[in-house]
Structure 1
């Protein structure tokens, strides 16, 4: 059963598994792009306090993430080790998602901060209990290198769809659902809609995917050996640092661009840009496409409303470019040049294009969108490669130590992902406070605050991207090494059977 010939995965199974990551991104993208701004503008928290809320959850994660990896590795059911966790945690995961973006209407800012800390920590905890087994599941669906890359590519096509929906439609839907200017109601309706869809997709993923790789038959349960093998692994340490700094950057840049569009980009120029795209309300317009766009809140009525739609369109462009980049480039480049080399070149280009957001004038909307196109195209091939490389790290541990702890391997990297998410948001919060950002909807910002927003959208995240590039240089699993390793592992597994 473990021979590579019997580890081909059908497209239906890949799609079913991929829907799980679409669900995860309905949550993850929301936290990455909107969590900081929700705390500062809806809850009214200072940037530094919002950042502290995110850092507190990281302390809890330090205990939760390895626990999830240990538990999932030791789970034994007729469904496998990881699939049951995806299903068991689907409902509480989505419930805590709603609560994290629910405004309870508390006046006392200390209590608001406490509510934010508890709800955010519970959401991140449940994210671990769901996403660590889900990610581990992708590492045991096949040992075939090309199949594994294909699985992750399909997975991240659906991930990009989730990204497209959240980044592009959230603010327009919030505006659409807001009653008499009540943004809290708009957020609650929007998040509840995403949560229902997310639960359905997780259930489909749990019932679709199959586990084909199992630990060596003679492997004994030994937590001390698992910890020793993983922490002593150079590939794992390289991937941990890479993941940490990539997601620090994504969280910082994604959230900062929200502020960038609201406070730096010229509203009149953005309105005119949207008008040229046919996204400005017109009484004479009566086409089906116009009504569909209006139903999703993508028609703007005045320059003061241009930020919500403009930022959504900006994000949707990036998601579309990334979507086609994953489909067209990722498999091709990885198979030809290897995952490591592809990742290094593409992440370097991504950092360069990110830094260039420092230069556009506030009226130069076209240049901003063009830079986003280039940045998204450069980053696209790396999206599925991250998880495929982590699966290779789990294989490397089995190859060297004759032991396999897939869940524990992925748990550490999921912790790095979530730590990056929290640290990136915290860094942005502290930067905003340091540059004098004033919290609250409609607050007027100083030149210092706006300059801080520009730096947080360009040069600072570019620098943290480059730390990830440096980490990749220490990753030892090249294309040739991986092919040799997989061939030997396949031979071992066939002999075990």
Structure 2
């Protein structure tokens, strides 16, 4: 039986909750660590350790939230209730993280509010992304769903970066502290607004059968899902590379280009290109397949990142060119992997006989968080080892700058090349997925 396609209205209201998620991703990797190191005065080693501990602690909540999310049964469904419950946790956590009392902040304070933030983040992200897999069984429409979600998230990202950029150029207002605060205001407004718009305008399937497998049994079956294991490894490597470059971006702008205030404008150029590239990658993925489209996007990073080794003071426009190229390629990571996730869940449904989307997204989230904790930790430890000083006004020279360039460019390229190797000969193609859907339909009709 042909499934009814989702309307653009449904796609819009589903995707709009990606706005605060996307807006938060950048400062949590780039500006917030820099702010606590430069403006607040916590050491880089301490910040890297805090981020690692908070992420590891948070990662262990993912399987629990996923397990409970698949088994939640209410008259409103099992995804929307978790999203609404995340609001009173996320909003105060954003406030205390983005607007701290700088005179009394300690590493313990940072750790506490990061842990609270990531708990709310997990409660929002896992059911929200699992819901996408349940909106449509179609191989290509799933890419459309993630494209709408990613595009709206990127639009919010561009808007949130545009205001600090305009404030800097027209009013000379916009150091790291000011950027953090402006983004914090956006998040406090958008988190409740977008979530409530999504849950009130998008229907959720409520006549589902809760999984009966235990957590351990479910994980054993999941581990036998070969395409999922390969997909998770690829995303871990890719995300670690992104995390390293994001965590060192402001240091690179300050230490190499010596133009810190241009950082937000440079990032804006990246996200604007990404915004317009997302629909193009949807078309490309339908032509050549999802994993090949992802591979092409990764090659944009592999061939561009070494170019950053040649940059020096004042090379803003060359940096912008590089970011625009990688922004085009980076658009794939916002769309393709998440669409591929939904496909491997169908394979699990065939093997286990159960719909365990949230459990899969919980494992995915766990791996993502490990990479986002390992990446900054690795980057900050390397910078601390080479003696790079993040203090504003300090001019780093010689080997310190060379080491920063190597961390920002070559170390990230290694992760991206490894991702390409993992994706080579990925088995779950469109043809294989169509076979899976037929098998599932036959099984359901018995």
Q: 3-state SS of the aligned residue for 2:16?
A: helix
Q: Is the 8 A contact 2:85 2:123 kept in 1?
A: no
Deviation at 1:457, TM superposition (A): 2.0
Deviation at 1:490, TM superposition (A): 3.7
Q: TM-score, normalised by structure 1?
A: 0.83
Which one has a bigger Cα radius of gyration?
Answer: 1
The CA distance in 1 between the partners of 2:206 and 2:442, in whole Å, is: 13
The CA distance in 2 between the partners of 1:332 and 1:214, in whole Å, is: 34
Partner residue, 1:252: 244
Partner residue, 2:203: 210
Q: Is the 8 A contact 2:56 2:369 kept in 1?
A: no
Partner residue, 1:164: 158
> Which residues in structure 2 correspond to 1:343-382 (within 5 Å)?
343-382=294-333
Q: Residue deviations 1:98-148, cap 9 Å, x none?
A: 2222322345xxx61111111112111211111111111111111122221
Q: 3-state SS of the aligned residue for 1:5?
A: coil
Partner residue, 1:22: 19
Q: Is the 8 A contact 2:35 2:177 kept in 1?
A: no
Q: Would the alpha carbon gap of residues 142 and 211 (structure 1) be closer, same or farther in structure 2, given more than 3 Å must change?
A: farther
Q: Would the alpha carbon gap of residues 475 and 96 (structure 1) be closer, same or farther in structure 2, given more than 3 Å must change?
A: farther
The CA distance in 2 between the partners of 1:169 and 1:37, in whole Å, is: 20
How many residue pairs align between the two structures?
446
Q: Is 1:80 matched with 2:77?
A: yes
Q: TM-score, normalised by structure 2?
A: 0.92
Q: Would the alpha carbon gap of residues 476 and 247 (structure 1) be closer, same or farther in structure 2, given more than 3 Å must change?
A: same
Q: Would the alpha carbon gap of residues 36 and 24 (structure 1) be closer, same or farther in structure 2, given more than 3 Å must change?
A: same
Candidates 137, 140, 147, aligned match of 1:146? 140
Aligned CA-pair RMSD:
2.6
Candidates 203, 210, 220, aligned match of 2:212? 220
Partner residue, 1:398: 349
- Give unpaired runs (5+ residues) of structure 1: 268-306
Q: Is the 8 A contact 2:146 2:339 kept in 1?
A: yes
Deviation at 1:169, TM superposition (A): 4.3
Candidates 191, 203, 209, aligned match of 1:198? 191
Deviation at 1:218, TM superposition (A): 9.2
Candidates 400, 410, 424, aligned match of 1:459? 410
Partner residue, 1:330: 281
Q: 3-state SS of the aligned residue for 1:211?
A: coil
Deviation at 1:87, TM superposition (A): 1.3
The CA distance in 1 between the partners of 2:171 and 2:76, in whole Å, is: 40
Q: Is 1:43 matched with 2:40?
A: yes
Deviation at 1:28, TM superposition (A): 1.7
Q: Would the alpha carbon gap of residues 46 and 172 (structure 1) be closer, same or farther in structure 2, given more than 3 Å must change?
A: farther
